[in-house]
Structure 1
Amino acid sequence: MGHGNQSHRDIAAGVITISDTRSKETDKGGRLVIDYLEEMDITVDAAHYQLVKDDVSSISAAVDQLLEQNVDAVITTGGTGIAPRDVTIEAAGRFFDKALEGFGEIFRMLSYTEDIGSAGILSRAAAGVSGKTVIFILPGSTGAVKLAMEKLIVPELNHVVQELNK
């Protein structure tokens, strides 16, 4: 695939799917994130892949656990809309030391032009930094995951990790 050179160190990534209904077998979004990471030669250890329910304490605990294991990146899918059960931003966003507003802005712009049109205003996809870890909070749909991974995360992840470890 050729996403940058191999002089950078191995990146450790964690993936969390937030859903009340999916199981690891039916988790298309999380699986897709892992597939994209594997194409970048980033292996997600089994211990770094979790499925949690749509509640703030479960999501926070899962993010906290990955941060304590010093992963370079945490990517969540699901729970970014405006329905009452959509609390991923509230749960995972509390860990941000610095918000990466550009991620959400560009993601919504791309969603608007390439995918879902004006429904893009309902997406609260976000990213930020916690210590030396970048956290990407993606919607659960495979279309959204594909868009975020292909257009934003795959092209920039090595760069982001490099900047955080200067």
Structure 2
Amino acid sequence: MSVTQHKKEAPENVNCKVISVSDTRSKETDKSGRFIINLLKESFHTIKDYQIVPDDYEVILDAVKAGALDKKIDVILINGGTGIAKRDVTIEVVQDLVEKQITGFGEIFRMLSYLEDIGSAAILSRAAAGVYLDTAVFSMPGSRGAVKLAMEKLIIPEICHVVREVHLHRKENK
């Protein structure tokens, strides 16, 4: 079956959880989280949950697990905590949880970052995606530019297609 046919069979909208990882942001100052939410809503997707969590492995882990266990949530979008400093652990959480990696997300994100935005600094950019408990999980850096790039160029164009593929042989016990 062609990609075009897959996209025709995909849902028109999906239910999302947005997680911003930050030790300093609040809902009032979380520009990247709000940007993600606004883009999702503009694309007719539903926000089922939104939270800001500190850059702490266990707290991020619990937030992602809660989203994946919620039958109403199809996609978890995480921003922040992706740097290379010792405290940045979002990618480690995602890598430890996902059952299937979507490696192309990080690869293409870095390529686009290199070409369109930050040049060789793209080697420091960590982004990851995968599937956990029949839920798509996307993790992107927390800067507004990185979120804009990931959302507009990769996630929004493919989010429904990804959910279609994840749900194709969905486990009934979610």
Give the TM-score range, shorter chain: over 0.9
- Structure 1 residue 12 corresponds to structure 2 residue 15: yes
Of 72, 79, 82, the residue aligned with 2:81 is: 79
Q: Which residue of 2 aligns with 1:41?
A: 44
Q: What is the TM-score when the length of structure 2 is the normalising length? A: 0.88
Cα displacement string for residues 82-123 of structure 1 (whole angstroms, at most 9, x for unaligned residues): 011110011232210011110000000000000111111001
1:59 & 1:8 partners in 2: Cα distance? 28
Equivalent position of 1:158 in the other structure: 160
TM-score of the superposition, structure 1-length normalised? 0.92
How large is the Cα RMSD of the aligned pairs? 1.6
Q: How much identity, in percent, do the aligned residues show? A: 55
CA contact (8 A) 1:59 1:92 kept: no
Q: What amino acid does structure 1 have at the position aligned with 2:146?
A: A
CA contact (8 A) 2:13 2:160 kept: no
Specify every segment of 5 or more residues in structure 1 that has no aligned partner in the other structure, as ranges. Answer: none
Corresponding residue number in structure 2 for 1:30 = 33
Question: Which residue matches 1:96?
Answer: 98
Residues 43, 114 of structure 1: CA spacing in aligned structure 2 closer, same or farther, 3 A cutoff? same
Q: CA deviation at 1:6?
A: 9.9
Runs of 4 or more off by more than 6 Å in structure 1?
Answer: 4-7
User: Which ranges in structure 2 are unaligned for 5 or more consecutive residues?
Assistant: 1-6, 169-174
2:63 is the counterpart of 1:62 = yes
